[in-house]
Amino acid sequence: MRSRRRSPGDAVDFAVGVELVHNASLVIDDIIDRSAVRRGTPSAWAEFGYGPAIVASDGLLGEAFALFSADERAMRIVAEAMVELGEGEATELVARPETEAEYMELARRKTGVLFRAAAELGAVAGGANALTVEAFGDYAERVGVAFQIRDDVLDATADEGDLGKPTGQDAEMDRPSLVQVTDLTPEEADARARAESDRALAALDAADAPETEAQDYLRDLAEFVVVRER
């Protein structure tokens, strides 16, 4: 299978595809966590049952891969991300991380790799060279890890109504989070997220790409994920 010539529609197809993958993973996450609420509304399994939710997740993945199927690089990026995401989810279920380093690797696999895939797909759609694709991937992976750390902090400290989903789930289910695995305070964990955000910005600066409003947005995103309240 060969990569075909780039077209403006590639960016839209890739964006829709990676969001479908993301939503498919959330459906399964909610089943694993027995979370009945997602962003203030009933989760798929809570509303329709486990079977229909799993089938819906499969359907979302099928639609996603149909959008990537015409481009070899896109297919490889997403397939590799899905493998790492699955390995991260499996690791969380059977082998609890015991150190900060082990937690950070889990966060990279659970969250960072999907962020990386989204950014790399955007670079591929824009016709970027391999080094630029990798730089954008490095940026996004760091943003994803920062997002996950901040998510852990919010689960431990936020109000359920403000967050839009149940809080305290990590502690209740004995699920590994940076706060659970280490003796870091929420403030110290937020500092770790900030460090990842700074590394993301450094990777973005290293990318061989013109300065545009999109670059400004990516910088704002790296800043936002460490201060978000939901």
Q: Where residue 111 sits, what CATH number does that domain have? A: 1.10.600.10
pLDDT value for 161: 52
Whether residue 131 lies inside any domain: the answer is yes
Q: What angle do CA 27, 106, 91 make, to 5 degrees?
A: 70
pLDDT value for 158: 54
Whether residue 2 lies inside any domain: the answer is no
Which residue segment(s) compose the domain that 12 sits in? 8-224
Whether residue 230 lies inside any domain: the answer is no
C-alpha to C-alpha distance for 206 and 20, rounded to whole angstroms: 29
pLDDT value for 1: 39
C-alpha to C-alpha distance for 209 and 102, rounded to whole angstroms: 33
pLDDT value for 2: 43
C-alpha to C-alpha distance for 146 and 140, rounded to whole angstroms: 10
pLDDT value for 157: 80
pLDDT value for 8: 61
Question: How many structural domains does the chain have?
Answer: 1
pLDDT value for 7: 63
Q: What angle do CA 56, 44, 222 make, to 5 degrees?
A: 95
pLDDT value for 6: 61
pLDDT value for 62: 96
Using CB atoms within 10 A of its CB, is residue 223 exposed (0-12), middle (13-18) or buried (19+)?
middle
C-alpha to C-alpha distance for 2 and 7, rounded to whole angstroms: 15
Report the chain (230 residues): mean pLDDT per 10 consecutive residues: 58 95 94 85 94 97 94 94 91 85 92 95 91 95 95 76 53 68 89 96 89 90 90
Whether residue 3 lies inside any domain: the answer is no
